[in-house]
Structure 1
Amino acid sequence: MTPDLECRTLCKRFGDTLAVQDVSFSVAPGSFFSILGPSGCGKTTIMRMIAGFLEPTGGDIRIKGRSMLNVPPNKRPVNMVFQHLALFPMMNVADNIGYGLRRAGLPKSEIVRKVGEVLERIGLPGIGSRRVDELSGGQKQRVAIARCMVLEPDVLLLDEPLGALDLKLRERMKIELKSLQAAFDTTFVYITHDQSEALVMSDQIAVMNHGVFEQVGTARDLYYRPETAFVAGFVGDSNRWAGTVEQVDGSTVALRTAEGLLIRSRAQGKALAKGEAAEIFLRPEAIRVARDAADLAQFDNQVSGVVSSLLFNGAASRILVRDEVGEEIEVTLPQSGEFATLSRGAPVRIGWSGDQTTCFARQG
């Protein structure tokens, strides 16, 4: 099956700076693909090259198998939703949505029909005569998407469209965007620095750093099977230890931290050697809490400590445990039982399996 979007060894140079370095990926028809990374990593540059606002320094961009090199933005079968939605305040909702259709020269009756249909699909029937400034933030988001979707693009590009919304509305719009994408069955390419947006909405996610893709995969792949230290540290919350490999046994290593803690882990990426600098990552929810060592007999990592801080956040509440060498380890609290209401200063013992950690050679 021909991908809706394919980028082949895409590069972009600005003077001496290589902003995008040999990036290759493809997006299947009707899927939600996100590019996730910190500010300045190159994700917006990729988006602007796909849209045609920037010409690549090298490589190719193909939409449904057709190269877009030297094709102007207005001739590409894509449309784009920006962070600042750029709705026309002097026009009502229907005129905003129908703007592109009027520019294309469609008859008025056809425009009215298409605008009515797309308003139904975004769940806002009958608001075509309303002014833009009468809409809520979520309604404006949907109108901006409708203005793009009424033109029936092969690919819809979304440039951090939730960034200007308040937290509660942003959480709701993540679900709505995924539902809209399924309703239109159109390929969405979404860029964001917010990992929760990418994890919730995407079929595939590319994690980008310093102009390259570190890993491309599903949300579960990135969260549970990170391929690089950057992905392990950037996606989700993790405890992190740096140290030196003290033992190697097949794919299992034991790392001694600078403070003296010995942690067993599975190695990721290249094989690690004794004496090599490395770092280990562990999710807070992978750690179990107990009163004594007997209750943690199944775990090959056990640490004693005291609760140093309580981090209450409802279902995702956590504690910080200060271990015997003075390091703090973040632990997800159970929702019931004797450890659900631990207090500061309480002695605890925690344990985890080496199979639930990831270990990488330390860079730099």
Structure 2
Amino acid sequence: MTPDLECLNLVKKFGATTAVDNVSFDVPPGSFFSILGPSGCGKTTIMRMIAGFLDPSSGDIKIRDRSVLNTPPNKRPVNMVFQHLALFPMMTIAENIGYGLRRNGLPKPEIARKVDEALERIGLPGIGNRKVDELSGGQKQRVAIARCMVLEPDVLLLDEPLGALDLKLRERMKVELKALQAAFDTTFVYITHDQSEALVMSDQIAVMNHGRFEQIGTGRELYYRPDSAFVAGFVGDSNRWAGEITRVDGDGLEIRTDSGLLLRGASHGRVLSVGEKAQIFVRPEAIRIAHDAGELDHFDNRMTGRVTSLLFNGAASRIIVQDPEGREEIEVNLPQSGEFAGLARGAEVQIGWSGAQGNCFAAGGH
């Protein structure tokens, strides 16, 4: 199957600075592909090269197997939704959605039909005569997408489109955007620094750092089997320890942390050696909590700790536990059973986790 989008060995330099460093990826038809990374990593530069606003220093960009390097932005079969939606306040909703169609010279009856169809698809039928300032933030977001989709692009580019929304609306729009992508059956390429957005919506995610892709995979693959320390730390929350490897036994290993803890972890296929400096990452939800140490005998990492903080967040509530010598603070998810809901600061608890849940990397990060 021919990908809707292929980026081949893309490089973009600004003087002596390399913003995008030999990046290659392809996006299958009808999929939701996200580029996730911190500010300044190069993800917006990639988006602008795909849209035609920037020329790559080298490499190629193909849409449905045709290079678009020499095609101006207005002639490329892509459209773009920006964080600041740039809707025209002096126009009605219908006029906003039909703007590109009018520019393309379509007859008025055809424009009206396409606008009505788009409003149906975004779940806002019958509002064509309203003004932009009469809409909520989420409705404006949907109108901005409809304005792009009536032009029937092969690929829709979305540049952090939820960044200006409040938290509750942003959570709702994550679900709505995924539904809209399925309704239009169009390939979405989405850039964000918010790992929750990428995990919820995407079929595939590329994690970017310093101009390169660290890993491309599903959200589950990135979360549970990160390829690098950067991915382990950036995607989701983790407890992290640095130290030295004291034992290697197949895929399992032992690390003495810089603070003196002796922890078991797993290399998950990475080649690591005794004496090597390393990092170990453990998700807060991988750690079990108990009142009695005997309940945790099956774990190869276990300790007594004291609760130093309670972080209430409904079903995602956590505690911070300090080890007996006060060397480390460890984040632990509270079980949803409510058994530990009455914990107070200073309470003594038992915690434990499996070594297989500890992702270990060489100190260099891979």
1:228–1:269 CA contact under 8 A, matched in 2: no
Is 1:281 aligned with 2:284?
Answer: no
Is 1:270 aligned with 2:270?
Answer: yes
1:269–1:360 CA contact under 8 A, matched in 2: no
Is 1:86 aligned with 2:68?
Answer: no
Q: Which residue of 2 aligns with 1:126?
A: 126
Unaligned runs of 5+ in 1: none
After TM superposition, where is structure 1 displaced by more than 4 Å over at least 4 residues in a row?
A: none
Q: Which residue of 2 aligns with 1:297?
A: 297
How far 1:293 moved relative to its partner? 2.5
Q: Which moved more, 1:331-340 or 1:219-228?
A: 331-340
Per-residue CA shift, 1:267-303, capped at 9, x if unaligned?
A: 1463111111100000000111112321111100011
Q: Which residue of 1 aligns with 2:200?
A: 200
1:10–1:21 CA contact under 8 A, matched in 2: yes
1:8–1:60 CA contact under 8 A, matched in 2: yes
For 1:337 and 1:109, how far apart are their aligned partners in 2? 60
Secondary structure of 1:117's match?
A: helix
Q: Which residue of 2 aligns with 1:348?
A: 349
Secondary structure of 1:315's match?
A: coil
Q: Report the CA distance shift for 1:188/1:295 in structure 2 as closer, same or farther (over 3 A).
A: same
Report how many aligned residue pairs link the two structures. Answer: 364
How far 1:357 moved relative to its partner? 1.2
Q: Which residue of 2 aligns with 1:330?
A: 331
Secondary structure of 1:341's match?
A: coil
For 2:82 and 2:245, how far apart are their aligned partners in 1? 47
For 1:121 and 1:297, how far apart are their aligned partners in 2? 55
Q: Which residue of 2 aligns with 1:25?
A: 25
CA RMSD of aligned residues (A): 0.9
| Identity of matched residues, % | 77
For 2:21 and 2:70, how far apart are their aligned partners in 1? 20
Q: Which moved more, 1:146-155 or 1:283-292?
A: 283-292
Matches within 5 A, 1:235-274: 235-268=235-268, 270-274=270-274
2:251–2:269 CA contact under 8 A, matched in 1: no
1:227–1:268 CA contact under 8 A, matched in 2: no
For 1:8 and 1:292, how far apart are their aligned partners in 2? 56
How far 1:118 moved relative to its partner? 0.5
TM-score normalised by structure 2 residue count: 0.98
Per-residue CA shift, 1:129-163, capped at 9, x if unaligned?
A: 00111111001000000000000000000000000
Secondary structure of 2:315's match?
A: helix
Per-residue CA shift, 1:152-181, capped at 9, x if unaligned?
A: 000000000000000000000000000000
Q: Which residue of 1 aligns with 2:146?
A: 146
